[in-house]
Structure 1
Amino acid sequence: MIRRLMILGYFIMGGACSRKRDQQVEDILNRGVSGKYSKSSSSKWLATSLSRSGSDVKRRNGERPSLLELCVRKIHEDIDRYTTFSDLPRDISQQIFDELVYSQRLNLKSLEAFRDCAIHDLNLGEYPGVNDEWMDVISSQSTSLLSVDFSGSDITDSGLVSLRGCKNLESLNFNFCDQISNRGLEHLSGLSNLTSLSFRRNGAITAQGMRAFSGLVNMKKLDLEKCPGIHGGLVHLRDLTKLESLNIKWCNCITDADMEPISELKNLRSLQICCSRITDYGISYLKGLNKLNLLNLEGCRHVTAACLDTLTGLMFLNLNRCNFSDSGCEKFSGECYLASSQLKVMALLCGKLCGFNQFKDLKLGNEQHYKFMLGLTKLESLNLDSCRIGDEGLVHLSGMLGLKSLELSDTEVGSHGLRHLSGLSNLESINLSFTVVTDSGLRKLSGLTSLRTLNLDARHVTDAGLSALTSLTGLTHLDLFGARITDSGTNYLRNLKKLESLEICGGGLTDAGVKNIKDLSSLTLLNLSQNSNLTDKTLELISGLTGLVSLNVSNSRVSNSGLRHLKPLKNLRSLTLESCKVSANDIRKLQATDLPNLVNFRPE
């Protein structure tokens, strides 16, 4: 009967959705988490910790489940009654498997029912109990198996032997699998269809073991982040001519010598080599990689502005904590002036002006001269976090008109230098946290109407500075975490109707200030922690923000009696009320009766 219902539901739904491929989310210029950025349970973690299936969210929002979903749910509840799903359509078996994994009902016994089901994807990342005993059923998917995530499992070298018959595997994830060594890599050498392979934080892989990668000629993405023994092993990647993304972040063994074989990877588009021992000389090997558009050099302290002489076509560049100062910023502009007569000669010699980008013209004497920008003219994202730059360095960014994201956190940039950014009309995101920017400087940003994300986590910013932001009506994310904002300042936020994320944690707010926030109906994240004068009235005021997914009112006077005002917030998934007169038991009761989507709360 169950099988008939499943088949009927399958055809009513038109079949389950096919898996979407090539949806790679690149870790673009990830800042990581530093001591200075610990924000008292701020919701920065939400992107990875609040995942949930789309069908489940729909059901919880009141939509009637489909017949197929009802069948999957019924099987999930009675999973111990079934011995095999091999006669069901593949997509249905996949949905049952995914539901069991999500609910953590899958174990070695129930896994047996999926033997020979020809499933495509097995997402077992961080799933408890996965070890070599699971591999027999996993490998029974044979040539149908396309993707497996084993991250955080207890799989060993012996377990990888079973994967030899899964010849069509395209993606394998072994992050944090510390029981896999060089010997295990040998069993993967024949999987020539692999396009994505990840071994983050593995101390047992060495240059010798990386020989197994040399035959994986279809590889497009390789992740060896925090693998400290791979020095000398990149030579085995020479023949991986299709490789587009290489992550060797936090491998402090990497030196200039390792960069030479990378120079042959002509299709490389993304390279991350944070916290390594490379110098400007090592970067020079990248000169011929014309497709490279993302380069992450965070924490490479021997890299200086001289590296910019090598780099031309980049769109994303991270120089966070590199040896970079104002004196090197002129390399960003790379300006040169040519007279019209010189241009004619160059056009005859070259046929075109390769590498030049006309910026503006001027007249010197009787002849028209043209100003050109060389080098990083395509740059869209630039990270100068924690570099030794100030206002003088920003003058060289004024011509980077394509810039969309600029990271200046923890620099000596002040209000005077912001005038050089006023013409960057395409700028969508700027981080000025831990700078010396003051209220007067914010007026220079008032014309940047493309801004969507603005971080002003700086003690020099006050209510007066917010008055300059009223024209930025397109803002969706505003971080005023440490700014000295009071009730008066929140008046300037009332017209920022598109705000989805707002953090005001400087301690100056009372319930009166929250009145100006209560109508920002697009908010999904609200952090008002550290404002010790907020009371239960605040929870009452924000009870109409039904789109909230994350709420933090820690270190306030909120009490247990105020929790009733949160009942309308049915989308709430994270609630933080630390150092309030609220106990974990109080929140659990609210979760059980009114907030079924709440998956994370503090105190807990």
Structure 2
Amino acid sequence: MRHISEGCAGVLFLNLSNTNITNRTMRLLPRHFYNLQNLSLAYCRKFTDKGLQYLNLGNGCHKLIYLDLSGCTQISVQGFKNIANSCSGIMHLTINDMPTLTDNCVKALVEKCFRITSIVFTGAPHISDGAFKALSTCNLRKIRFEGNKRITDTCFKFMGKNFPNMNHIYMVDCKGVTDSSLRALSPLRQLTMLNLANCVRIGDVGLRNFLDGPASINIRELNLSNCVHLSDTSVVKLSERCPNLNYLSLRNVEHLTHLGIEHIAYILSLVSVDLSGTDISNEGLVTLSRHKKLKELSLSECYRITDVGIQAFCKSSLILELLDVSYCSQLSDEIIKTLAIYCLKLTSLNIAGCPKITDSAIEMLSAKCRYLHILDISGCVLLTDQSLEDLQIGCRQLRILKMLYCRQISKEAADRMSSVVQQQEYSSNDPPHWFGYDCEGKPLTEKNQDTTPSKEALELTLKESLLSSEEEAV
């Protein structure tokens, strides 16, 4: 770091994440990096609060705009005060995986950092509404939280009143969020992205109140995955109030029926829809095919659809780029044939957990879908080495390939494929019980589907895992 600091004084972006830097490096930063704007110290755990105090000793680091302190659990409230004293111009703050982060840390920072516009605090379970009260002096535009049980409706009320320019809200898996929160967000005219996945207390009433406000006009991305209390009523309202909606996720919204699917087709601005885990049927896919402008469709674990429904949709979706039909074990080669004929722009395909897919389907896919970048064939137990040979010949742009639980694909063929793609996952193990079929693709009986392992089975699995890890290490 001494050589870098002395030879590269003009650096604007410096990523030191996951390194062993100490307070000695922190002393170097303000002495040499006068123009530094972007600094990542993520998961660097060997510097202390005293090291952050050094940032105020020189002329450098005072232009810092972006700071990432993810995983730096050694920093206390005093450390955040030191940051505020030397880097008051920070606008973008990322602190992920920080179980020691508290409201007092945020308060210490914002005493002098008034220009903060975006915060990312995923994995900070002790942050509460008090932190947002302290942030009310800033002009926040982007918030990302996840898995926080202390955030309540009060937090959203602060947002609605104090952050009129907010455009990005990601508050996933926050169990304290209710319909009142959505009502508080309705005045935010600049809001374009709202992700409330796993906020299970949200229902039709809250979403209706949100959509009745001006926020619905500009919303482009809406994720309501696992908001199980929503129904067709919400989708009808979406079609009426969201003329600019591009991305919609209703994953596992089990009360969605054919009426809701019909109104999704009316949202002509949509390019991506996630209906995984819903009760959609072939009839719903036929209705959705009228849209004709969808580029991405996810139907994972939709057990009521068959080849007929997928074929009807694909024949009308010539610009389709992404299709996810994973764990729809009832599907066969017929859907691949249809994709190869009509969806030539396909770049991502997930058919994991589809045991009826054979080598002939992959041959057709390779011959026609030459833009394919991502392919997941995990659990396609009938596929052999021949399918990988076809992919190498036809899908030359393939970058990511997942083929777990593919027993008939040899390790030698997988090794050859690894030199072709950038990222690959492979195993020849039998499919897990929750796939619902055995190594030959035959459905498991109820007796075989009992997934409660015995003590002996757990011990055996642990031993095998340890042996496998030792072999990889060797």
SS at match of 2:143: strand
Match of 1:430 among 280, 286, 297: 297
Q: Closer, same or farther in 2 for the Cα pair 1:389/1:131, shift >3 Å?
A: farther
DSSP 3-state at the match of 1:271 = strand
1:280 and 2:179 are equivalent in the alignment: yes
Give the counterpart of 2:410 among 559, 562, 579.
559
Matched residues in 2 for 1:192 and 1:133: separation? Answer: 22
Which residue is equivalent to 2:454?
none
SS in 2 for 1:576: strand
Q: 1:208 aligns to what?
A: 104
Alignment pair present for 1:421 and 2:288: yes
Task: Give, in whole Å, the separation in 1 of the partners of 2:364 and 2:38.
Answer: 49
Q: Is the 8 A contact 1:386 1:408 kept in 2?
A: yes
Residue correspondence of structure 1 range 526-565 to structure 2 within 5 A: 526-544=375-393, 545-554=395-404, 555-559=406-410, 562=413
- Find the counterpart in structure 2 of residue 511 from structure 1: 359
Amino acid at match of 2:133: V
| Equivalent residue, structure 1, for 2:374 | 525
Aligned-partner Cα distance in 1 for 2:356–2:277 = 23
Query: 1:512 corresponds to which letter in structure 2?
Result: S
Equivalent-residue separation in structure 2 for 1:560 and 1:252 (angstroms): 45
Match of 1:378 in 2: 244
- Give yes or no for contact 1:577–1:603 (8 Å, CA) kept in 2: no
Shift of 1:149: 0.9
TM-score by length of structure 1 reads 0.62
- The aligned amino acid for 2:79 is G
The 1-side partners of 2:415 and 2:183 are apart by 62
Amino acid at match of 1:409: S
Secondary structure, aligned partner of 1:143: coil
Matched, 1:493 2:389: no
Poorly superposed stretches of 4+, deviation over 6 Å: none
1:275 Cα deviation (Å)? 2.1
SS at match of 2:134: helix
Mapped partners of 1:330, 1:547: distance in 2 = 37
1:246 partnered with 2:134: no
Q: CA contact under 8 A between 1:576 and 1:603: conserved in structure 2?
A: no
What residue number does 2:424 align with?
575
Q: How is 1:33-72 mapped onto 2 (pairs within 5 angstroms)?
A: none
Residue 465 (structure 2) aligns with: none
8 Å contact kept, 2:294–2:320: no
Question: Deviation at 1:557?
Answer: 2.4
Question: 2:234 corresponds to which letter in structure 1?
Answer: C
Distance 1:513 1:401 in 2: 32
Structure-to-structure mapping, 1:118-157, within 5 angstroms: 118=9, 119-125=11-17, 127-154=18-45, 155-157=47-49
Quickly say closer, same or farther: Cα 1:482–1:138, change in 2 above 3 A: same
Query: 1:376 is matched by which residue type in structure 2?
Result: C
Structure-2 residue corresponding to 1:408: 275
Superposition deviation, residue 139 in structure 1: 3.0
Contact in 1 for aligned 2:23/2:48 (Cα 8 Å): yes
Question: Does 2:143 correspond to 1:297?
Answer: no
Secondary structure, counterpart of 2:123 in structure 1:
coil
Residues 563, 186 of structure 1: alpha-carbon distance in 2 compared, 3 angstrom cutoff: closer
The one-letter code sitting in structure 1 at the alignment partner of 2:192 is N
1:489–1:316 CA distance, 2 compared to 1 (3 A):
closer
Q: Shift of the alpha carbon at 1:513?
A: 3.4
Aligned position for 1:370: none
Distance 1:476 1:247, change over 3 A: same
Unaligned runs of 5+ in 2: 431-470
Residues of 2 paired with 1:393 and 1:409: CA distance? 14
Distance 1:497 1:163, change over 3 A: same
- Higher mean Cα deviation, 488-497 or 404-413? 488-497
For residues 375-433 of structure 1, give each alpha carbon's deviation from its aligned partner in whole angstroms, at most 9, with x where no partner exists: 33332222221223221433443432222222221122333344553443443322222
Alignment-derived partner of residue 5 in structure 2:
115
Deviations along 1:248-296, one digit per CA (max 9) or x if unpaired, are: 2222101122223222111111112222202222332223321112111
Give the alignment partner of residue 306 of structure 1, picking from 191, 205, 221.
Answer: 205
Offset, 1:468: 5.2
**TM-score of the two chains, using structure 2 as the length reference:** 0.77
Task: Tell me what 1:476 maps to.
Answer: 321
- Partner deviation per Cα, 1:71-91 (whole Å, 9 max, x = no partner): xxxxxxxxxxxxxxxxxxxxx
Rounded to whole Å, the distance in 2 between the matches of 1:122 and 1:130 is 13
One-letter amino acid of the structure 2 residue matched with residue 303 of structure 1: I
- 8 Å contact kept, 2:40–2:67: yes
What SS does structure 2 have at the residue aligned with 1:521?
A: coil
Post-superposition offset of 1:525? 2.7
Contact 1:415 1:441 in 2 (8 A): yes
Superposed CA RMSD in Å reads 3.0
Q: Secondary structure at the match of 1:516?
A: helix
Distance in 2 (CA, whole Å) between partners of 1:536 and 1:398 is 40
> Is the Cα–Cα contact under 8 Å of residues 122 and 146 in structure 2 kept in the other structure?
yes
Q: Tell me which amino acid in the other structure corresponds to 1:245.
A: K
Verify the 8 A CA contact 1:329 1:396 in the aligned structure 2: no
Distance 1:250 1:268 in 2: 21
Contact 1:332/1:397 (<8 A) preserved: no
Larger Rg: 1
Distance 1:189 1:178, change over 3 A: same
- Give the distance between the partners of 1:512 and 1:287, measured in 2 at CA: 52
Question: Offset of 1:331 from its aligned partner?
Answer: 5.8
CA contact (8 A) 2:272 2:297 kept: yes
SS at match of 1:543: helix
Q: Is 2:30 aligned against 1:163? A: no
